[in-house]
Amino acid sequence: MSAQDQIRETITKNDVVLYMKGTKMMPQCGFSSRVAGVLNYMGVDYVDVNVLADADVRQGIKDFSNWPTIPQLYVKGEFVGGCDIVTEMTLSGELDALFEAKGVAYDKDAANKIREANA
């Protein structure tokens, strides 16, 4: 299976996928850590894909999304963005709205606490 096929299958079969450096429990870069931290704190059930474990997937995800950086968040097969976009969406409430529209469970109180802490 090619990296592109593997990526397509992963984002199709899972509601929320984070392509990141490291894992959700042990991120290997600050940007991946920030996005994983937001998802973990909000109690989102997601699949983490460690791009450092497979060079083909690491380049493949960049080609797949036409986005040059890692991490990359996908919700219900849709590319959401990287660290800056996810951070902005979290602080504006857009990420909550996306999760609600797509039927993804998350902790609304935790999301509000993130916004309060960054106000």
Give the annotated binding-site residues for [2Fe-2S] cluster.
29
CA gap 37, 54 in Å, rounded: 23
In this structure, how many other beta carbons lie within 10 angstroms of the beta carbon of residue 18?
27
Residues flagged as binding site: 29
For the chain, helix, strand, coil in percent to 5 are: 55, 15, 30
**Block residue for tokens 């996928």:** 17
Tokens of 14: 């899972």
Tokens of 116: 């309060």
Residue 119 belongs to what H/E stretch? none
